[in-house]
Structure 1
Amino acid sequence: MVTGPIGLDDTGSPVDAETFERELRSVPERRYHHRHPFNLRMHRGELTPDELRTWILNRFHYQRHIPVKDALILAKFDDPALRRMWVRRITDHDGTEDDEGGIARWLRLGEAAGLDRADLLAGEKVLPGVRLAVDGYVNLCRDGTPLEAVAASLTELFAPDIMTTRIAAFEKHYPWIGQGGLAYFKSRVPQGRRDSGEALAFVLDRARTRADQKAALAALAYKCEVLWTLLDAVDRAPA
């Protein structure tokens, strides 16, 4: 079970669904990487082209592991309806054929920013701190309970807003990338709303004890730390 210093007592009765949802939403409100200095600088237009390329390359290491972690979550479900719901996430990122889906769109973002597709795919330039953060998230989805693994994905509650902010920032401050490079961000706005709604319903239904609720909150806090740690590594990368 994932644990973390979230300041909640797991004794006693569970809180009601409305209160629990507020608790869940408060975790990314306080800990999501929309508050990270690197993202704030990105959205203010303060990144150099090299800093932006470093982020794109290292973030791709996270992106390419999204269908991996989703496959691990999918394998935990014994309900066909849940599997049908979750498998769509894998297709969203892998596509149904070559050169489509979220991973392909991220590769096009890299190319639009001047990165070589072969470098992105090789992954040899990925920072150690980024590898460690991504490994931690994949391991949570492999070793955690279904509730913990799904709860960790609830950073998606804030993804549509940060993607909307990012699209506007790129269009204003980084027009040299071009509209074709922004397809990933644009696709994630509706996908994030749909996916977070499904995951939230699952967590609210499955967290039936206070211990369950605390485990879900801790998993979500851990995922926020993963994203924050990834940006820490990128922000401290040698120029």
Structure 2
Amino acid sequence: MRLTSEQETLELKPWTRAEFENALRQQHRRYHHLHPFHQRMNAGELTPEEVRLWAINRFYYQRSIPLKDAAILSNCPDREVRREWIQRIIDHDGQVAGSGGIEAWLRLGESVGLSREQLLNDRHVLPGVRYAVDAYVNFCKTKPWIESIASSLTELFGPDAIRDRLVALEQYYPWIDPSGFEYFRVRLHQAPQDARYALNLVLEHCRTVESQQKAVQALIFKCDLLWSQLEAIDRGDTRPGLGS
């Protein structure tokens, strides 16, 4: 389903719940699993340097996820939603030191030959990646909370992509310590649960033509952002010092 102009929006009726969900799910065609970089990763064609460049730049996104979720919470007046959504911050930051998704990604970085200092020091982050990630955090700070939640619906498309990536990493990259893949294994269970909750919120709260259009646009924005990150990584140099 195509997005409409402002004038057309005034003349249309809202989608039914099923039509709206379909419009959101159709955006899987924009998801970054189709990017040539991920296609090469899944085919076992990346060099160790390329894997390290991906891991260190993707970490900048991973460490920013709790920031965008905190921004959503700060804009959300619904206490029940806040009670549920705060779990996402806990999932990434962990309840205690040594737990959580950020810690798991640090271990992934170590498994591909990076040090924690390299991952935590932003000097290896490519400008295009930094710009895209910072734009996402700013989006969630400045947009209505339900639009920000709609942007998170890339999680609808994530599990299949993660499953393919995990198979490829285990099959084609034996030099990577498999203990570093725990992040992906956890997300295979977390992501579908998170996506179902977010999807139901969006379907419930976006019932006008305008709000439905904005929700789809938010999801497209997020897909474009993820694609832009990979564009930067695919074109980026290997940044000397990312491992042997």
TM-score (norm 2): 0.93
How many angstroms apart in 1 are the aligned matches of 2:9 and 2:129? 32
- 1:10-159 matches, cutoff 5 A: 10-11=9-10, 12-27=12-27, 29-159=28-158
Deviations along 1:75-127, one digit per CA (max 9) or x if unpaired, are 22222211111000000000011111000000000001000110110111100
Structure 2 segments unaligned to the other structure (5+ residues): 239-244
Match of 2:241 in 1: none
Q: Who is 1:3 aligned against?
A: none
Are 2:168 and 1:169 aligned? yes
> 1:85 & 1:179 partners in 2: Cα distance?
32
Counterpart in 1 of 2:219? 220
Match of 1:47, SS state, is coil
Q: Write out per-residue CA displacement over residues 173-206 of structure 1, whole angstroms, 9 at most, x where no aligned residue.
A: 1122122110001110111000000000000001
For the aligned residue pairs, the C-alpha RMSD in angstroms reads: 0.9
Cα shift at 1:10? 2.3
TM-score normalised over the length of structure 1: 0.95
Runs of 4+ aligned structure 1 residues displaced above 3 Å come to: none
CA distance in 1, matches of 2:155, 2:15: 23
Percent of pairs with identical residues: 49
The answer to whether the Cα contact below 8 Å between 2:3 and 2:213 also exists between their aligned partners in 1 is no
In structure 2, give the amino acid aligned to 1:68.
L
Q: Give the partner amino acid of 1:158.
A: F
- Give distance in 1, aligned partners of 2:104 and 2:47: 22
